[in-house]
């Protein structure tokens, strides 16, 4: 007992004394000490490969989950912390990028100034809300708030994106407004936990209104009003599963039609105020939302709408204000909803916010420090090898007819690979960043970003742009750009390990590259053609065959339990599950091709094939708090890590052969699924 009590706090202490660093620490992409060989590989491959990692890496008190990805992110953040400390010295030789990130970080770390300011930075917004007397004032405020807001587009969303039907055109998108709970389903589910969540949310609203100086009676009234409005608006919103079908989000209208849909919002004033004087088309992603908003505007008094806006303002601003506001926000959104005991330390929040607001300036210093030309060359070569494997796979896939195959190959050949960082860096020189005005810095950075997005409307598409910052430990495929994106942050050990051989690297990063490629051909991505247009390029028989093959994956994952009695919503996770399976198969085929004719030897008692699969599983090692699992079950399109591994290997005969697994062992599916 004493030993356990001693060990756990020691492990937590080690994690709770982070330091700004100048180098990333090293851990290998195949780590024997992360395994737990007391578990049988054929019974539970995930815990066989990751059990040791989970034991030696308890979830730190300020995290909702702790995984290989988040640990690497944390290592990156400590390095960024070191780089930001250096950049925050007011040295005249700083570059523009260093001045912006250094002064932003300095202002963010000045907790004394932030405490002293209290609510005052938000006061001008609250005053403007208090001045709203009628719908015209409300629209005026909504317009200003879009242009000059602190991150929210509170009544409705308005942005730019590629036309779903013609990817070369950037057009205006009018979308839904924001909700205070993480998803629209939170407002309607009837299970006990969901009922408790809503009661806690109302309590949180009362706390926030209290912090704005309201009496308990007013705070209660206002909390109920916000809940009533949000519930009505949530009813009109598509579910996450419905949103996965891009056709459900395609409703192109003229500005006149949008204005007619919700006349009270006065789009005939809103659009010109954003500088959009002669646009011809707006894609209204969810027309039902605008119909509901129009109805709700008249179903509530102006006073109730002022309350709604006040809540949105304090919600978005709270993390950046003094501790009483930041703590209230943390208590509900992190501690209660996700079960996180402790708030992240200031340095970590400031590093994350610098990345979020000035990511490509921070990215420049990160890349210079971490991403060598050798790593770039090796990961580019691996990407090509995996694309060639996909080409061979598509060329020989037995279930596909030649007409569809031709289109699939065309799509594969036009995919653009973005590896490491953008060719040209975003220029932040017009953003005024001050060393002593944190809230103002957030505000100005947000204003810069919003105007940058709106300025794209009607201009030629910039295909070089990235949707993730270079330090990010993640990757993505964008169906409209038809590109895969691997930031420098994700191409570091233990995910990509320049010191190790191909087997674990193809298993780990290779399978992730294959995963992103497969997204171009999952149930969502397959609806876009080589140009990134939403256009059906499938013959009906191939479509049918595809549907039945993904149904196999959907049925398989629907049986897995997330937590308690909550099963995976496999209609939500289908695209990711298909990408996990396809990605691993492609990486395996590519690795076999890249090492053909080589005499690969066992290492540490594991055959080359076993090392491929252990490397593949070890990207996913980690643990998640039960409350966070509950939230993810409703909102995360990814399955829990253990099923992202076990679900995949149980479909692969190559895995069964490598580890000698046989029916009825759990890691051998009786009905293996195969799509790509």
Min dist CB 637 to Zn ion, Å, is 8
Min dist CB 651 to Zn ion, Å, is 17
The answer to whether the peptide bond before residue 664 is cis (omega within 30 degrees of 0) is: yes
Q: Rounded distance, CA 209 to CA 226, Å?
A: 11
Task: Pick the piece of the chain touching Zn ion (CB under 5 A) from 341-349, 490-498, 556-564, 574-582.
Answer: 574-582
Q: Rounded distance, CA 556 to CA 413, Å?
A: 31
Nearer to Zn ion, 382 or 484 (CB): 484
Nearer to Zn ion, 576 or 642 (CB): 576
Nearer to Zn ion, 304 or 576 (CB): 576
Q: Rounded distance, CA 200 to CA 282, Å?
A: 38
230 is catalytic: no
Q: Rounded distance, CA 606 to CA 603, Å?
A: 5
N-to-C CA span, the chain: 51
**Measured between alpha carbons, how far is residue 534 from residues 163, 165, 538 in Å?**
9, 5, 12
Catalytic residue among 516, 522, 623, 631: 516
Neighbours of 194 (CB within 10 A): 17
Burial class (CB in 10 A: 0-12, 13-18, 19+), 361: buried
Min dist CB 412 to Zn ion, Å, is 17
Task: Pick the piece of the chain touching Zn ion (CB under 5 A) from 110-118, 240-248, 352-360, 568-576.
Answer: 568-576
- The residue written with tokens 């953008």 in the block is 422
Q: In b/e form, how buried is each residue of 400-427, taking b as 16+ CB within 10 angstroms?
A: beeebbebbeebbeebebbbbbbeeebe
Q: Rounded distance, CA 70 to CA 67, Å?
A: 5
Nearer to Zn ion, 70 or 225 (CB): 70
Min dist CB 583 to Zn ion, Å, is 8
Q: Are 200 and 336 in contact (CB under 8 A)?
A: yes
Task: Pick the piece of the chain touching Zn ion (CB under 5 A) from 3-11, 336-344, 573-581, 654-662.
Answer: 573-581
Q: Which of 309, 11, 276, 354 is nearest to 132 (CA)?
A: 309
Nearer to Zn ion, 152 or 532 (CB): 532
Nearer to Zn ion, 362 or 513 (CB): 513
Nearer to Zn ion, 210 or 637 (CB): 637
User: Token pair for residue 135?
Assistant: 């719908």
- Residues in the interface with Zn ion (CB under 5 A) total 2
Contact letters (x/-) for Zn ion, 345-384, by CB under 5 A? ----------------------------------------
Full DSSP string of 480-549: TTTEEEEEGGGSSTTTS-TTS-HHHHIIIIIHHHHHHHHHTTSTTGGGB-TTS-B---S-HHHHHHHHHH
Nearer to Zn ion, 337 or 579 (CB): 579
Binding to Zn ion in span 247-266, by CB under 5 A: none
Catalytic residue among 304, 580, 631, 642: 580
Reduced 3-state DSSP string for 379-413: HHHHHHHHHHHHHHHHHHCCCCCHHHHHHHHHHHH
- List of residues 6+ apart from 525 with CB closer than 8 A: 477, 479, 518, 519, 575
Binding to Zn ion in span 576-595, by CB under 5 A: 576, 579
516 is catalytic: yes
User: Token pair for residue 202?
Assistant: 């109302």
Min dist CB 620 to Zn ion, Å, is 13
Q: Rounded distance, CA 309 to CA 125, Å?
A: 10
Nearer to Zn ion, 315 or 644 (CB): 644
Min dist CB 572 to Zn ion, Å, is 13
Q: Are 104 and 433 in contact (CB under 8 A)?
A: yes
Min dist CB 182 to Zn ion, Å, is 20
Q: Are 609 and 53 in contact (CB under 8 A)?
A: no
Min dist CB 6 to Zn ion, Å, is 40
Min dist CB 477 to Zn ion, Å, is 7
- Interacting residues with Zn ion (CB under 5 A): 576, 579
Indicate which residues carry an active-site annotation. 516, 580
């Amino acid at each position: 007992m004493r030993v356990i009590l001693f060990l756990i706090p020691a492990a937590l202490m080690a994690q709770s004394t982070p330091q700004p660093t100048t180098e990333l620490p090293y851990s290998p992409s195949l780590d024997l000490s992360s395994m737990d060989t007391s578990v049988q590989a054929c019974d539970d491959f995930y815990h066989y490969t990751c059990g040791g990692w989970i034991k030696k890496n308890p979830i730190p008190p300020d995290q909702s989950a702790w995984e290989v990805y988040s640990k690497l992110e944390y290592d990156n953040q400590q390095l960024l912390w070191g780089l930001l400390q250096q950049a925050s010295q007011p040295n005249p030789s700083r570059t523009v990028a260093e001045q912006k990130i250094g002064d932003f970080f300095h202002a963010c770390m000045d907790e004394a100034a932030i405490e002293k300011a209290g609510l005052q930075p938000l006061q001008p917004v609250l005053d403007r809300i208090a001045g709203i007397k009628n719908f015209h004032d409300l629209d005026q405020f909504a317009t200003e708030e879009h242009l000059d807001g602190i991150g929210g587009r509170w009544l409705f969303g308005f942005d730019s994106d590629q036309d779903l039907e013609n990817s070369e055109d950037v057009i205006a998108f009018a979308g839904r407004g924001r909700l205070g709970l993480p998803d629209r389903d939170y407002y309607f589910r009837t299970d006990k936990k969901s009922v408790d969540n809503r009661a806690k949310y109302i309590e949180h609203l009362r706390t926030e209104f209290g912090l704005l100086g309201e009496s308990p009676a007013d705070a209660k009234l206002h909390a109920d009003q916000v809940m009533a409005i949000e519930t009505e608006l949530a009813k009109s919103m598509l579910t996450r599963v419905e949103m996965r079908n891009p056709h459900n989000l395609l409703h192109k209208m003229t500005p006149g039609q949008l204005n007619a849909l919700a006349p009270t919002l006065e789009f005939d004033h809103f659009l010109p105020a954003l500088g959009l004087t002669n646009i011809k088309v707006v894609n209204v992603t969810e027309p039902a939302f605008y119909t509901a908003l129009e109805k709700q505007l008249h179903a509530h008094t102006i006073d109730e709408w002022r309350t709604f806006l006040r809540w949105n303002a304090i919600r978005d601003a709270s993390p950046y204000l003094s501790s009483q506001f930041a703590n209230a926000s943390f208590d509900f959104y992190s501690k209660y909803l996700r079960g996180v005991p402790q708030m992240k330390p200031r340095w970590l929040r400031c590093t994350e916010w610098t990345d979020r607001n000035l990511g490509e300036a921070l990215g420049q210093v990160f890349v210079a420090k971490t991403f060598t030309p050798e790593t770039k060359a090796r990961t580019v070569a691996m990407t090509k090898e995996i694309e060639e494997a996909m080409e061979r796979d598509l060329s020989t896939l037995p279930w596909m007819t030649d007409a569809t195959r031709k289109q699939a190959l065309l799509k594969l050949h036009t995919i653009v690979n973005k590896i490491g960082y953008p060719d040209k860096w975003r220029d932040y020189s017009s953003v005024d960043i001050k060393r002593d005005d944190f809230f103002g810095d957030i505000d100005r950075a947000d204003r810069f970003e919003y105007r940058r997005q709106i300025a794209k409307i009607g201009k030629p598409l910039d295909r070089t742009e990235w949707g993730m910052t270079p330090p990010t430990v993640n990757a993505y495929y964008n169906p409209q750009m038809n590109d895969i994106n691997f930031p420098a942050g994700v191409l570091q050990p233990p995910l990509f390990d320049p010191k190790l051989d191909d087997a674990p690297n193809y298993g780990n990063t290779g399978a992730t590259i294959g995963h992103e490629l497969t997204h171009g051909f999952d149930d969502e991505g397959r609806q876009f053609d080589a140009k990134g247009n939403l256009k059906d390029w499938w013959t009906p028989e191939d479509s049918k065959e595809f549907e039945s093959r993904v149904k196999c994956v959907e049925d398989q994952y629907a049986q897995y339990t997330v937590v308690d009695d909550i099963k995976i919503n496999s209609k939500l996770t289908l695209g990711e599950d298909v990408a996990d399976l396809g990605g691993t198969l492609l990486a395996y085929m590519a690795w076999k091709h890249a090492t053909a004719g080589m005499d690969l030897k066992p290492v540490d008692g594991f055959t080359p094939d076993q090392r491929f699969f252990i490397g593949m599983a070890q990207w996913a090692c980690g643990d998640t708090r039960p409350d966070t699992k509950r939230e993810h079950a409703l909102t995360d399109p990814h399955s829990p890590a253990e099923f992202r591994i076990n679900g995949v290997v149980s479909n692969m005969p190559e895995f069964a052969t490598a580890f000698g697994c046989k029916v009825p062992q759990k890691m051998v599916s009786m009905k293996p699924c195969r799509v790509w």
